[in-house]
Chain A
Amino acid sequence: MNCNPKTYAIAFCEAAMNVKSKSDADRCVKNLLALVSANRDQKKLKDIFLAVEKIIRRKTGHRKFIIESARPLSHANEKTIKHLIKPADIVENKIDSRLIAGIKININDELQFDGSFATKIKSILNLPC
């Protein structure tokens, strides 16, 4: 059977909606993996998980924030960012010293705010000199 990642993801999400217990949920995941391997579509797994994540986020309306900074955020910065985030949103903090300073916010892996010093320097050095 030739299926694309999105088809797998839709089918899995619909099956998972009717699950009542944790063991049922585990069985559902196992069955998905068995089906993918039977169809020799293991290469598509990454895309399938991305599609599943996207469907769940769309259904629940929850957003996933990844906040990257060079150092742990100060209390004042955290307070400013909190205004943007709803209580149900998932927030992940990452420390990446390559940013040098500033902040990078990734929303749902679809939108990005890049206020890092590293990017600023890059854009200055890319200017025609």
Chain B
Amino acid sequence: MSYEIIEKLKQAIGEYKETEKLEEIGRVIESGDGIVKIYGLKNVKSQEVLSIETAENSIEALALNLEEDSVGALVLGDHISIKSGDIVKRTNRLLSIDTGKSLLGRVVSPLGQVLDGKGLIFGKEKPTQYFLENEAPSVLDREPVDTPLHTGIKTIDSMIPIGRGQRELIIGDRQTGKTAITIDTIINQHLDTYKKTPVCIYVAIGQKESKIAKMVETLKNSGALEYTIIVSAPASSSAALWYLAPYAGCAIGEYFRDRGEDAVVVYDDLSKHAWAYRQISLLLRRPPGREAYPGDIFYLHSRLLERSARLSKEKGGGSLTALPIVETQLGDVTAYIPTNIISITDGQIYLESDLFYQGVRPAVSVGLSVSRVGSKAQTPAMKKIAGKLRLELAQFRELQAFIQFASDVDDATKKKIKRGQIITEVLKQPDLDPMPFEKQLIVLYAVLNNYLDEIASDKLPAMQAKLIENIEKLHRADIMEPLRKTGTLTKEIEEKLKSAIEKVVAK
């Protein structure tokens, strides 16, 4: 071991190149709470990495505020050892992260440091550096969203479809299952055969480390970790890392997008990201605005989410889908950050606490959720089958509210309510159990064509399982495979499906 160290040191000394040159320097005049004020450095660029030479070591900082005589910088390491008077040097490089395929299955910090204890990330592969702040693709570089990204959640895939390259917000109060939806989506990607499996990037901002560890374990056990990268800025890390984490995740996603691959990036969550940016801005003495957020809080999120796109064929045809999460307080979607992000994204999935506690899980509020571009990307078969689902559910909700006051209800209304209850029951889905889209098609076809009307609510889950199992076993080649492969429900398949469902229900 010591021999190896000596050899490596010898090699490093042998390869050392003298790089002494006249460097531009500044001096720390104020340091506190992870922010330093530096006197000098008049040629420094915004977002440039600076090196603070302390008595013990050198600490990196990020130039944010460029003033006439001073620079306000965000410390990227331990700020305790920084003292007033310490020398600050320019590095002439903008903040960037090492990216590459070796990142798959790893947990990294927003600065690219290893957090999973599995050793070096880039062994043989040479990493590609991507700037954390990058320009969004131009209009000409983009193409309309036309490929579905199946989440494996019946409610979402049938009524609020998401396309590859879309930005779909997941919004709701605490403990309503926001993270669970994104984890299900990640797990479902390898169940979605005949489609390119996208690379998934999960950005954890200000979360408990135990929660992150649990999530890594879940992904590992379900076989999803091999195509997932986790960027972690845990609760114990500084506001600087919380602020940089989404940009790091996006930069990693861009690496795959620019190489013609599909990537999905989950930002969990942007409310905490906004808090971190508010803290940094106030410490940098930028003027506070509404709810003490700085004036550029909208730009903070719009420039991040605009980087998600479906690229044109000339640009490789890759895509970057964004699933930002926002936590609301007492269901208030009209607060500052939620309204900002709702207006930036291409739709939102709204999760309601009331539904969650009634046992409707995922607690998606169909009335308030919308997908502005995803319906164009929905699979033809799903479009055909689930087209009337939203309408039926809306009618049911309306009737449900109405019968609370009515004493006498006619048979037609009773029937409609019964159907609504059946549909709601069928759409319920347990946590970590995403359903491949062809199986969703079978279940939804059965329920929307009145095959499950006579079945008691408590027997519906068992009936669903029986239906899927039967068709998978007996009709794999003539129903399952064609649906999976083509995503179209031809008359021929429909006839076979009808007779198969009839047989199972009759039993």
Q: From A102, which residue of chain B is reached at the shortest CB distance?
A: B20
**How far is B40's CA from A47's CA once the two chains are assembled, in angstroms?**
11
Which segment of A26-34, A74-82, A113-121 sits at the interface?
A113-121
Tell me, yes or no, whether B29 is within 8 Å of chain A by CB.
yes
Indicate if the CB atoms of B39 and A112 lie closer than 8 Å: no
**How far is B13's CA from A129's CA once the two chains are assembled, in angstroms?**
11
Indicate if the CB atoms of B20 and A113 lie closer than 8 Å: yes
- Given A6-B69, A47-B29, are A111 and B9 neighbors across the interface (CB < 8 Å)? no
Indicate if the CB atoms of A111 and B23 lie closer than 8 Å: yes
Digit string of A1-24 for contact with B (CB within 8 Å is 1, else 0)? 000011000000000000000000
**How far is B20's CA from A46's CA once the two chains are assembled, in angstroms?**
31
Indicate if the CB atoms of A109 and B25 lie closer than 8 Å: yes
Tell me, yes or no, whether A88 is within 8 Å of chain B by CB.
no
Tell me, yes or no, whether A124 is within 8 Å of chain B by CB.
yes
Q: Which of B9, B12, B89 has the most CB of A within 10 A?
A: B12
Q: Which of B12, B25, B89 contacts A129 (CB 8 A)?
A: B12
Q: From B40, which residue of chain A is reached at the shortest CB distance?
A: A110
In this complex, the interface size class of chain B, counting residues with CB under 8 Å from chain A, is: 20 to 34
Tell me, yes or no, whether B393 is within 8 Å of chain A by CB.
no
Indicate if the CB atoms of B23 and A114 lie closer than 8 Å: yes
List residues of chain B with CB within 8 A of the CB of A107. 22
Give how many A-B residue pairs fall within 8 Å (CB-CB): 48
**How far is B19's CA from A107's CA once the two chains are assembled, in angstroms?**
18
Q: From B37, which residue of chain A is reached at the shortest CB distance?
A: A47
**How far is B58's CA from A69's CA once the two chains are assembled, in angstroms?**
20
Q: Which of A106, A120, A123, A124 contacts B25 (CB 8 A)?
A: A106
Indicate if the CB atoms of A51 and B69 lie closer than 8 Å: yes
Q: Which of A46, A110, A127 contacts B12 (CB 8 A)?
A: A127
List residues of chain A with CB within 8 A of the CB of B8. 129
Q: From B4, which residue of chain A is reached at the shortest CB distance?
A: A129
Indicate if the CB atoms of B25 and A110 lie closer than 8 Å: yes
- Given A6-B68, A47-B29, A129-B5, are A113 and B23 neighbors across the interface (CB < 8 Å)? yes
Q: How far is the CB of B450 from chain A (nearest CB, A)?
A: 66
Digit string of B21-57 for contact with A (CB within 8 Å is 1, else 0)? 1111111010000000001101000000000000000
Tell me, yes or no, whether A50 is within 8 Å of chain B by CB.
yes
Indicate if the CB atoms of B29 and A112 lie closer than 8 Å: no
Q: From B87, which residue of chain A is reached at the shortest CB distance?
A: A112
Tell me, yes or no, whether B405 is within 8 Å of chain A by CB.
no
Interface residues of A in 89-129 (CB under 8 A from B): 106-107, 109-115, 120, 122-124, 127, 129
Q: How far is the CB of A85 from chain B (nearest CB, A)?
A: 15
Binding site for A on B (CB under 8 A): 5, 8-9, 12-13, 16, 19-27, 29, 39-40, 42, 58, 68-69, 87, 89
Further contacts, 11 of them, CB under 8 A, given A5-B69, A109-B27: A6-B68, A46-B29, A47-B39, A50-B39, A109-B25, A111-B22, A112-B22, A112-B87, A113-B23, A114-B23, A120-B16
Q: Write 25 A-B pairs (CB below 8 A) sorted by A numbering.
A: A5-B69, A6-B68, A6-B69, A46-B29, A50-B29, A50-B39, A107-B22, A109-B25, A109-B27, A109-B40, A110-B24, A110-B25, A110-B40, A110-B42, A111-B25, A112-B23, A112-B87, A113-B23, A114-B20, A115-B20, A120-B16, A122-B58, A123-B16, A124-B13, A124-B16
